[in-house]
């Protein structure tokens, strides 16, 4: 695989917990299971440097803006749900073209403690020159101002996310509890909730619009999210499970290669994908039943890919979103820019692996009508 200078540079700083303070970073390292293996010690340099800077910048931002965002009222958000590699990014990018909505950017979710004062600085603009224009694992457009998933808020601050397993695979069992928070302490749930609310207050202060959020992990958190935002709306996108498995495996291999601080057994990736998908949908199929008819829209990726404009319009109608005609041309214009996008291709699955995926995820195949 050919890496540009921008890709090489971004891979060097990728494991950096951009938004963490030094105290948060040291707390992450406090457990023996999170010990850094010596081949990855070089990744400590950008991480520690950025955490030290964040400790100072966090205090400055808090002193300057706390009184402004403290009493901000968050407008009911829109949550995009769906397992990794199911089309959630494509969906968020389209909804982001509606100027009546706001969305978190890559810079904001990786710098949740400081983005109000640091996002438009000269040094941030300088480093943006070294950010690749596309994601290497799927060629999707990329950049600091591009819409991004809010799960990164926790990944780059509190550590209350299963994404931390990509950095510390030896502690995967500990961090994977944060997929649904079912087995977490009340204090952990409270900290996660406060972290999310604080970020959305700051984003609302900046934009004063309803926010479109996208995180695969939220698929297993409908109850948690409704406790905070009872009027929130949800869009769930699903895709052929075989393609999801192959694409998620590629995603995991890529993220581990650029993010881990520990050696990992590649065979564990397979088991983790199967188990995490099953856990996610065990919870989703139960919790979606508590949503009212106009709170949830469910769409099939293959239909969405074939007729995106038609499907988006149906979402606006189902969820009683603002008049679709107002933003229709913006979406058409955006879709016209994607005509040359090259999708990833995958080989035919081995029959034994295909059978294992089907048996593990059988319910999803049956409910969504995908062939074995």
pLDDT classification of 138: cutoffs 50, 70, 90: low
Query: What domains, with CATH codes, occur in the chain?
Result: 5-340 (3.40.50.300)
Mean pLDDT of the chain: 90
- Give the C-alpha separation, 265 to 253, whole Å: 11
The structure's pTM equals 0.91
Whole-number pLDDT of residue 126:
61
Residue 288: name the closest of 354, 231, 345, 222 by CA.
Answer: 222
What length does the chain have?
372
User: Looking at the predicted structure, is the pLDDT value of residue 14 above 70?
Assistant: no
90 Cβ neighbours under 8 A, 6+ residues apart: 140, 304, 305, 308
Higher pLDDT, 11 or 186: 186
Of the spans 15-19, 35-39, 208-212, which averages the highest pLDDT? Answer: 208-212
> What is each CA distance from 212 to 26, 305, 321, in whole angstroms?
32, 20, 12
334 pLDDT tier (thresholds 50, 70, 90): very high
Instruction: Report which DSSP code applies to 75.
Output: P
Task: Give the bridge partners for 147, in sequence order.
Answer: 105
pLDDT average, residue stretch 79-87? 96
- CA–CA separation, 38 vs 5, rounded Å? 25
23-27, 38-42, 275-279: which range is least confident on average? 38-42
Which candidate, 157, 223, 222, 230, places its Cα nearest to that of 194? 157
DSSP 17-53: -TT--HHHHHHHTTSGGGPPPGGGGGGHHHHHHHHHH
Reported as a pLDDT band with limits 50, 70 and 90, residue 1 is very low
Of 121-135, 188-202, 229-243, 315-329, least confident by mean pLDDT is: 121-135
Average pLDDT over residues 7-28: 72
Is the pLDDT score of 282 beyond 60?
A: yes
Span 289-314, mean pLDDT? 96
Instruction: Report the C-alpha gap between 133 and 159 in whole angstroms.
Output: 27
DSSP 8-state assignment for residue 369: T
- How much is the pLDDT for 141? 66
Residue ranges in the chain assigned as alpha helix (H): 5-13, 22-28, 44-69, 88-95, 106-110, 115-118, 122-128, 151-155, 172-175, 186-207, 222-228, 241-259, 267-287, 301-306, 308-318, 328-336, 351-360, 362-368
pLDDT for 140 beyond 80: no
């Amino acid at each position: 695989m050919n890496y540009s200078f921008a890709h090489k540079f971004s891979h060097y700083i990728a494991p950096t917990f951009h938004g963490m303070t030094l105290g948060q970073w040291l707390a992450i390292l406090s457990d023996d299971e999170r010990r850094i293996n010596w081949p990855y010690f070089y990744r400590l340099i950008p991480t520690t440097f950025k955490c030290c800077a964040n400790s100072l910048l966090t205090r400055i931002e808090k002193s300057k803006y706390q009184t402004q965002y403290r009493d901000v009222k968050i407008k009911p958000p829109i949550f995009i749900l769906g397992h990794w590699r199911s089309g959630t990014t494509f969906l968020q990018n389209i909804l982001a073209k509606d100027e009546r909505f706001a969305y978190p950017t890559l810079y904001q979710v990786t710098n949740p403690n400081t983005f109000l004062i640091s996002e438009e600085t000269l040094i941030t603009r300088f480093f943006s020159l070294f950010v690749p224009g596309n994601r290497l694992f799927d060629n999707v457009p990329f950049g600091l101002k591009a819409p991004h998933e809010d799960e990164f808020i926790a990944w780059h601050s509190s550590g209350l996310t299963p994404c931390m397993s990509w950095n510390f695979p030896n502690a995967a069992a500990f961090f994977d509890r944060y997929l649904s928070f079912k087995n977490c302490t009340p204090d952990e749930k409270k900290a996660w909730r406060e972290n999310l609310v604080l970020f959305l207050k700051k984003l609302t202060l900046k934009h004063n619009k309803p926010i479109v959020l996208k995180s695969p992990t939220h698929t297993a958190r409908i109850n948690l999210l409704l406790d905070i935002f009872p009027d929130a709306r949800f869009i769930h996108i699903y895709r052929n499970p075989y393609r999801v498995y192959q694409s998620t495996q590629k995603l995991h291999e890529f993220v581990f290669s650029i993010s881990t601080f520990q050696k990992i057994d590649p065979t564990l990736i397979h088991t983790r994908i199967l188990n995490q998908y099953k856990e996610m949908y065990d919870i989703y199929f139960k919790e979606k039943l508590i949503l009212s008819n106009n709170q949830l829209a469910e769409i099939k990726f293959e239909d969405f890919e074939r007729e995106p404009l038609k499907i988006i319009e149906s979402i606006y109608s189902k969820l009683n979103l603002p008049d679709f005609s107002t933003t229709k041309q913006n979406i058409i214009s955006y879709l016209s820019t994607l005509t040359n996008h090259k999708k990833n291709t995958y080989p035919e699955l081995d029959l034994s692996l295909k059978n294992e995926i089907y048996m593990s995820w059988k319910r999803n195949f049956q409910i969504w009508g995908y062939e074995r």
